Amino acid sequence: MTFATLGLIEPLLRALETLGYQTPTPVQAQAIPAVLAGRDLMAAAQTGTGKTAGFALPLLQLLTMEGPKVAANSARALILCPTRELAEQVHASVAEYAQHLPLTTYAVYGGVSINPQMMKLRKGVDILVATPGRLIDLFRQNALKLNQLQTLVLDEADRMLDLGFSEELANIYRMLPKKRQTLLFSATFSDDIRLLAGQMLNDPLSIEVSPRNVAANTVKQWVVPVDKKRKPELFVHLMRKGRWKQVLVFAKTRNGVDALVDKLQGLGINADGIHGDKPQATRQRALDRFKTSEVQILVATDVAARGLDIEDLPLVVNFDLPIVAEDYIHRIGRTGRAGNTGEAISLVCADEVNMLSAIEMLTRQTLTRKMEADFEPEHRVPDTDASGQVVKKPKKLKKPKTSGGGGKRNLGKWVDSGDVAPAEPSIKPVRKVPVFNTGPRKKK
């Protein structure tokens, strides 16, 4: 199969040739004809499978072939993304695919001044990539009208709900014209997402190119059990031993990111961090420098986990496990992309056993544990497996004689997630009920 046999027009084929795309990926093979046929879409695709081109290529073609010229302060297609970084990245891809087409594209997001965005929108843009909050601001300030909108794309829809955007989505839903095409993309599909899809989509075609909630099998994954307080030391040890050159590291909290970056920099290691407290320009600069290998270790909270496309990223390290199990799939999806192999290593302490169990259940696999000599934990990580079982009575280990270290509280038992540090405050891990959900909320 080729892109030409999928019915794409010549200017798009030319752009793909320049980019070196020869064969459509499975999600592209299914999505492109369906979108061209005008169908609504509900697509579950693994991260790194080429889903951006899966929606962007047919969307660009439809906008070129059909519909009126874009009016002032209007957009003909809207792509909603959960984070600024993803919005930038999706926009960059769309602009590349559109390079030979007479269409305009633009990205808007928060954390930067709204005025230049308002100016840019004056003439209207064919494709607008946006994060939900800024889109609503622009709409409320009359800088953007949506009555010309032909197509709405919800990219990483589950993440938008995870980040607490359900109210924003419900507001945007009310701003949209009834007659439109809607494409919903997500790496994972929860009940809340299906609910959202039920509201927003019209007779959607379901595309599922990989088993639900399974991470790319090109990623080799394992777990290193360790005591919480020794994680930084273990990280540095593994880094030196494995001669890691480019590593994306995930920590749970903003403070956690800062502490690890400080520690690494203190050891003369080339590290930088990104999280929600940092200004957008700083975040983007750190990411750009990481992409060009000027920075060796990039430590991030989950805000950086989604959709970031870093060419040939060989390794992801979960310094902390994510509170939301689905985030594990998104995190490790930063490696092993577009058929490359990658590795994902998780440093897991006893406190995190419930999260480990949730991840194994979600991904339907028992993660291999590899003990690192001299780092065997005093607080044993209880056994887990893909069935969601946690062996609740781990062997009681002898209390270490040395004082301090916080060993007493958690000695020989696992603690539930109520005992772990909260996620970074601006990110709301608890999903709010979408306001258009009238029924009772299902307990997870």
Judged by beta carbon, residue 23 or residue 147, the one nearer ligand AMP is 23
Residue 25 as a binder of ligand AMP (CB under 6 A): the answer is yes
Size, binding site for ligand AMP by CB under 6 A: 14
Stretch touching ligand AMP by CB under 6 A, among 50-58, 145-153, 189-197, 383-391? 50-58
Which string of x and - marks every residue 81-120 that binds ligand AMP (by CB under 6 A)? Answer: ----------------------------------------
Cβ–Cβ under 8 Å, residues 82 and 159: yes
Pairwise CA distance, residues 168 & 319, whole Å: 31
Stretch touching ligand AMP by CB under 6 A, among 16-24, 162-170, 220-228, 383-391? 16-24
Compute CA 212 distance to the chain's CA centroid, rounded to the nearest angstrom.
16
Residues 30-49 that bind ligand AMP (CB under 6 A): 48-49
Among the listed residues 11, 51, 8, 1, the one whose alpha carbon sits nearest the alpha carbon of residue 31: 51
Residue 58 as a binder of ligand AMP (CB under 6 A): the answer is no
Stretch touching ligand AMP by CB under 6 A, among 17-25, 68-76, 363-371, 403-411? 17-25
Give the residue, chosen from 338, 386, 391, 433, that forms a contact with ligand AMP under the rule CB under 6 A: 338
Longest dimension (CA), the chain: 77
Q: Which two tokens stand for residue 25?
A: 């990926």
Give the residue, chosen from 6, 12, 21, 286, that forms a contact with ligand AMP under the rule CB under 6 A: 21
Stretch touching ligand AMP by CB under 6 A, among 24-32, 110-118, 212-220, 375-383? 24-32
Q: Which two tokens stand for residue 355?
A: 């999260």
Residue 272 as a binder of ligand AMP (CB under 6 A): the answer is no
Judged by beta carbon, residue 28 or residue 117, the one nearer ligand AMP is 28
Pairwise CA distance, residues 36 & 181, whole Å: 11
Pairwise CA distance, residues 112 & 116, whole Å: 9
Give the residue, chosen from 158, 168, 309, 351, that forms a contact with ligand AMP under the rule CB under 6 A: 309
307: left (phi over 0), alpha (psi -120 to 50) or beta: left
Stretch touching ligand AMP by CB under 6 A, among 51-59, 73-81, 138-146, 405-413? 51-59
Pairwise CA distance, residues 305 & 329, whole Å: 9
Q: How many CA atoms are closer than 13 Å to the CA of 15, on its beta-carbon side?
A: 18
Pairwise CA distance, residues 338 & 310, whole Å: 11
Pairwise CA distance, residues 31 & 86, whole Å: 20
Give the residue, chosen from 6, 8, 42, 51, that forms a contact with ligand AMP under the rule CB under 6 A: 51
Among the listed residues 30, 24, 58, the one whose alpha carbon sits nearest the alpha carbon of residue 43: 30
Judged by beta carbon, residue 28 or residue 73, the one nearer ligand AMP is 28
Residue 337 as a binder of ligand AMP (CB under 6 A): the answer is yes
Give the residue, chosen from 6, 41, 53, 257, that forms a contact with ligand AMP under the rule CB under 6 A: 53
Compute CA 390 distance to the chain's CA centroid, rounded to the nearest angstrom.
28
Which strands form 41-44's sheet, in the order they lie side by side? 105-108, 125-130, 75-80, 151-154, 181-186, 41-44, 205-208
Residue 50 as a binder of ligand AMP (CB under 6 A): the answer is yes
Residues 192-221 that bind ligand AMP (CB under 6 A): none
End-to-end CA separation in angstroms for the chain: 41
> Considering the complex, what minimum distance in angstroms separates the CB of residue 307 from ligand AMP?
6
Give the residue, chosen from 11, 24, 276, 382, that forms a contact with ligand AMP under the rule CB under 6 A: 24
The residues binding ligand AMP (CB under 6 A) are: 21, 23-25, 28, 48-53, 309, 337-338
